[in-house]
């Protein structure tokens, strides 16, 4: 789940992972849905503004970067495809978010499950939210 803290200048989003116990299909479905909501919201923000993203590296250290997708084609990325299983059926899903690391404009992607929080300016949040409200 994503929690939001608004100030006059910034919005801080904190990502809280839903706990899923073995055999709890409802919680698993909600976990998958939360992951997709995070991806959709982050992509919408990245297309409109610069975002500071905090994430956990493989060595368990927290890193951060400044990212955007403004004026970049998302199709330039070759993202890994993951498989999710739901009620005995397998589905392909995107578990990574593509981005352009600033200021050097390096293409990069981050696994959604490693993101801990992200921050952006509070100047177009309502406008962005209205654009993607149908996705949730």
Mean pLDDT of the chain: 89
Q: What is the mean pLDDT of residues 81-96?
A: 83
Rounded distance between C-alpha atoms, residue 37 and residue 47, angstroms: 15
Strands 82-86 and 89-93: antiparallel
Count of Cβ atoms closer than 10 Å to residue 8 Cβ: 5
User: Alpha-carbon distance 44 to 35, whole Å?
Assistant: 14
Look-up of token digits 């406008």: 127
What would the pLDDT profile of 98-124 be if each residue is shown by its tens digit? 999 999 999 999 999 999 999 999 988
What is the pLDDT at residue 93?
A: 85
Q: Averaged over 56-73, what is the pLDDT?
A: 94
The range of the structural domain enclosing residue 32 comes to 2-135
To the nearest whole percent, how much of the chain has pLDDT over 70?
Answer: 97
Q: Given this model, what pLDDT does residue 133 score?
A: 59
**Domain count of the fold of the chain:** 1
First to last CA, the chain: 13
The band of 136, judged by pLDDT with boundaries at 50, 70 and 90, is very low
87 or 62, higher pLDDT: 62
Place of tokens 């929690």: 3
Q: What is the pTM of this model?
A: 0.86
């Amino acid at each position: 789940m994503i929690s939001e803290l608004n100030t006059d200048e910034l919005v801080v989003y904190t990502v809280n992972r839903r706990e899923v116990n073995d055999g709890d299909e409802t919680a698993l479905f909600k976990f998958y849905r939360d992951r997709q909501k995070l991806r959709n919201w982050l992509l919408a923000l990245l297309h409109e503004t610069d975002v500071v993203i905090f994430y956990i590296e493989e060595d368990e250290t927290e890193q951060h970067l400044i990212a955007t997708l403004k004026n970049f084609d998302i199709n330039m990325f070759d993202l890994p495809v993951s498989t999710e299983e739901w009620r005995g059926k397998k589905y392909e899903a995107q578990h990574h978010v593509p981005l352009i690391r600033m200021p050097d404009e390096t293409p990069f992607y981050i696994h959604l499950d490693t993101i801990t929080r992200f921050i952006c300016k509070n100047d177009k949040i309502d406008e962005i939210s209205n654009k993607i409200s149908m996705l949730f």
